[in-house]
Amino acid sequence: MTPISLLPLPGFSARRTRLAATALLPLLAGLPLHAAAGAPQPATFDWGAFLGPFHMVVLHLPIGFLTLAALLEAWSLWKKTPWAHQANSLVLPISALSAAAAAGLGWFRAGTGSEFDPALLQQHRWTGVGIVVFATLAALVRPGGAVAPTGSRVWAYRGLLGVAMALLGAAGHFGGSLTHGSGFLTKNAPGFVRTALGDAPPATAAVATPKATESPSAKPSTNTTESASGSTGVYRTVIQPALQQRCYSCHGPDKQKGKLRLDRRENALAGGESGEPSIQPGDIRKSRLLYHVLLPRAHDDAMPPEGKEPLTPEQILAISQWIQQGASFD
C-alpha cells in the first residue's frame, strides 16, 4: 500500500505542514465520529459517552501551555531575549495539539450533554475550535532563528497568538457558565460590583416562623386559595435566593441536568426525566425536590450532589413550608 504524503502548504515547510495536520486531526476526526454517533447504531460500546468526560481533564493543558506561550513572547518583546522566543518552538505546538485534543473530546461531551443551554453550548464549542485554528496558525507563522526576530511576520504571529488568547478567555467563560451557571464569576462579588453589572445581590433568605399569638393547636389551612395567598412574597425573598444559591447551577436557565429546571414555575411543577413533579403544591410528600435534598449526601441521587454545598436545614424547612402553603411563585 503506497503511503499518503502531505503536500506542503504554500509558504510553509513540510515539517510545519505535518504539524498543522497533526494538530487538527483530533478535532476533524471527532466530527464524523460525532455525526455517526447520532445515527441508529447496533448495541455497541459508546465511546463518546466514555471519552466525553475527559474533556474536563484535558482542557487544562491548552490553558496552561497557551498562557505560557503568551508570557514567553511578552518577555521576549520586553527584554529582547531570544531564548524566550525560541522556547515557543516547543510550547506552541504542544498548545495547538492539546487544544485540538480538548476540542475533540469536548465535541463528544456536547453529544451527551442535553442538559446544557444550546446557544451557550454553541458559543463554547466554536470559540474552542477557534483556539485550535489560531494556535495552529501561530505555530506555523512563528519565525524561527537563533536571535529575537523582527519584521511583519513576527507581528503577524503575535497577533494570531493574541487572538488565540482572547478566544481562550471567552471559551473559559462560556464553559464555566455551562457547568456553574451564568453568574458564577459574580455571585460572590461585592454588592456594588454586582449592581454595576446589573446583577443585584439576592435578598437574604429568612425562615418563616410561627407568630407568637398563634395557638400551638391551630391546624394548617387546607384551603388551596388561602394557602397560596399566604405564601405570596415568600418565593421572592426566601425560596428563590435559596434555590439560586444551591440549585440553579445544575437546574437553572443555562443548564438543566436531568431535564429539570427550577427557575420557572411550569418546569418545576412538571419535573424532569422521571415525569414526577419536582414541586407539588400543598403536598410535600409528592414533591421530588424535597426527596432529593433529604437523601444522604453520599447517595447518587442526592441534590445538590456530593462536593457541592447543600441546602441548610433552615432552607429545607422554609421550602417545605412554602410547598405546604401552596408553592406560590409570586
The string of DSSP codes covering 242-256 is HHHHHTHHHHSSSBB
Does the pLDDT at position 225 exceed 80?
no
Residue 226 has what pLDDT? 39
Does the pLDDT at position 34 exceed 60?
no
When pLDDT is averaged across residues 63-69 and rounded to a whole number, the result is 96
Distance CA 58, CA 225 (A): 54
Angle at 290 between CA 285 and CA 291, to 5 degrees: 75
Does the pLDDT at position 97 exceed 90?
yes
**Average of per-residue pLDDT values in the chain:** 76
Does the pLDDT at position 223 exceed 60?
no
Distance CA 318, CA 123 (A): 37
Residue 206 has what pLDDT? 44
User: pLDDT tens, 157-189?
Assistant: 999 999 999 999 999 988 888 777 666 677 677
Does the pLDDT at position 232 exceed 80?
no
Residue 151 has what pLDDT? 76
For the purposes of burial, counting CB atoms within 10 Å of the CB of 207, is it exposed (0-12), middle (13-18) or buried (19 or more)? middle
User: pLDDT tens, 270-320?
Assistant: 877 777 888 888 888 888 888 888 888 778 788 887 767 888 888 888 899
What is the pTM for the complete model shown? 0.55
Residue 302 has what pLDDT? 81
User: Among 91-100, 213-222, 281-290, 310-319, which stretch is predicted with the lowest mean pLDDT?
Assistant: 213-222
User: Among 50-64, 77-91, 162-176, which stretch is predicted with the lowest mean pLDDT?
Assistant: 77-91
Distance CA 242, CA 209 (A): 17
Distance CA 324, CA 15 (A): 70
When pLDDT is averaged across residues 115-129 and rounded to a whole number, the result is 84
Distance CA 66, CA 161 (A): 8
